[in-house]
Amino acid sequence: MTSQSVLQGLAQPADTRLVLLVLDGLGGLAQQPNGLTELEAARTPNMDLLAAEGQTGLSQAIGPGITPGSGPGHLALFGYDPVSSNIGRGALSALGLGVELNDGDVAVRLNFCTVDDKGRVVDRRAGRIDSSLNSSLISKLNAIDLPGIELQFITESQHRAVLVMRGSGLDPRITETDPQRLDVFPVDPEPIHPEAQRTSDVLKGVLAAVRECIGGESPANFVLMRGYAGRPVFQGIDQLYGLNPLCIATYPMYKGLARAVGMDVAEGLDTISAEVAELSAQWNSYDYFFLHVKSPDARGEDGDFDGKVAAIEEVDAKVPDILQLRPDVFVLTGDHSTPAVLRQHSWHPSPFLIRGEWVRPDRTEAFGERDCDTGALGVFPAQSIMAMMLGHGGRLAKFGA
C-alpha cells in the first residue's frame, strides 16, 4: 500500500473531476445455492456498460474475513488506513447523530444501566429500554448544569446515548466506567494520562449529577461511560492531495465522516434524485465528489432482498445523469457488503468498477460479484482507490526520475 505521505508528495493539480459513488452495503449473497446476489439479480444496464468500458475488481476495507463498520469502511475509501485511523466510538456516535464536534470537545458513549441500592451494576443495558424512555431521560439529563463545562446529552437508541462535553482542558484519556460484569460497582473515571485530571474531575461531577437526576427512575437509574474520544484529527484529502472535495449524502454519519476528512458537505438532501441534482449543480465548484447512497444497505439490513435489488436499480437509472457531466474518473463500489440474507454488514468484499478515459479496460462485461471476481483488479484494499482515482485523473506526478 502506498503511504499517504508518498501520495501527498506526488500530488499535482489537474483540471479533472473525480466521482466516488458509494452504494452503501452494495455486495450481497444469493438466497439459495446457485442463486444470484442482489446486484447480479438487479437489472443494471448502465452499470454493466461501465463495467464493460472500465476495469473491475472487489474492494476490501480491512482484510479477509473482517466486517467493516461504516467509519473504517469509508475511511478506507477516502485513502486512510482504516485500522490506524479508526475513530473513537464516542466521536463516531456523535458524528452519526449529526452532532458536530469542535477541537477540544470530548464525546462519550453512554449506556443507561440499572444499579442496585448500593450502586452495584445489575443490568448493564437497563433491560434495553425503549428509545422513547431514553429520550425522556435525556431531557432530564440535559437540565444538568455544571460550572465551566457545557454538556449535551443525545439519545442514540434503546439504552445507548452520547454525551458531548465542551470546555477548556478536556482530554479523553480516561478509564471506562463500564465494569463489563454484574454485581460490582462501576469503575471510576480516572485519568490514564496526567493531562486528563480535569476531565476525570468533571466526569465524576457529571456522574454525581446523573445519579441525583435519574437515581430514582426504573429500570434505567444510572449510566456507564465508554469510548471517550475527541474530534478525529485527520489531515484532510483537501490538504493531502490538493482536492476540493464535496460530500453529497443524506445520512448524518456519512456527512460527519466526510467533514472529518476535509470535505465540504451539501445539506438538505433526502433522495437520490436530489443528490444527483446537487452533483450537477455543484459540478463547477468542486473536483472530487463523494456521492453516498444509503438505500442498498438499509434494505439489506431489513432482510429485504427484492428491496435491495430495487434500490440498486434506482441508482442504475441515475447513472446516465452522472455520466452526462463527463467525470474524468468515475468509481462505483460499496463500503462493505450487506447481504439481505444476513441482515447486517458482512466481511465479503465489495464489487468495484472504475471508468475513465485512461483506464485500461479488462474483459469484464457486466457488473456483479462474479463478474468482478475475474476483473483486472482482483480482491484489493479499498485504501488504494484514492491513489487509483488520483492517478487516472492525472493528479499524481511521476515517482523518481
Q: Which residues bind a second copy (CB under 8 A)?
A: 1-3, 6-7, 10, 27, 29-30, 33, 37, 53, 58, 62-73, 82-83, 86-87, 89, 92-93, 96, 342, 345-348, 358, 360-363, 369-370, 373-380, 384, 387-392, 396-401
Contact 228, 90 (CB under 8 A): yes
Shortest reach from residue 332's CB to a second copy, in Å: 17
Contact 278, 248 (CB under 8 A): yes
Contact 209, 144 (CB under 8 A): yes
Q: Using the minimum distance from each CB to a second copy, give the nearer residue, 87 or 170.
A: 87
Contacts of 302 (CB under 8 A, 6+ apart): 340, 343
Q: Using the minimum distance from each CB to a second copy, give the nearer residue, 222 or 234.
A: 234
Shortest reach from residue 399's CB to a second copy, in Å: 5
Q: Using the minimum distance from each CB to a second copy, give the nearer residue, 49 or 149.
A: 49
Phi/psi-derived region of residue 34, left when phi > 0, alpha when psi is between -120 and 50, beta in every other case: left
Shortest reach from residue 47's CB to a second copy, in Å: 18
Tell me which H or E stretch contains 21: strand 18-23
What single-letter DSSP state applies at residue 384? Answer: G
Shortest reach from residue 97's CB to a second copy, in Å: 12
Strand 350-356 with 55-60, pairing:
antiparallel
Shortest reach from residue 95's CB to a second copy, in Å: 10
Tell me which H or E stretch contains 395: none
Q: Using the minimum distance from each CB to a second copy, give the nearer residue, 118 or 398.
A: 398
Phi/psi-derived region of residue 79, left when phi > 0, alpha when psi is between -120 and 50, beta in every other case: left
Shortest reach from residue 261's CB to a second copy, in Å: 15
The cell for 314 is 434506482
The cell for 284 is 463547477
Q: Using the minimum distance from each CB to a second copy, give the nearer residue, 189 or 368.
A: 368
Alpha carbon of 222 to those of 147, 154, 197: distances in Å?
A: 21, 15, 23
Contact 368, 27 (CB under 8 A): no
Contacts of 236 (CB under 8 A, 6+ apart): 245, 261, 262, 263
Q: Using the minimum distance from each CB to a second copy, give the nearer residue, 71 or 334.
A: 71
Q: Using the minimum distance from each CB to a second copy, give the nearer residue, 56 or 200.
A: 56
Shortest reach from residue 64's CB to a second copy, in Å: 4
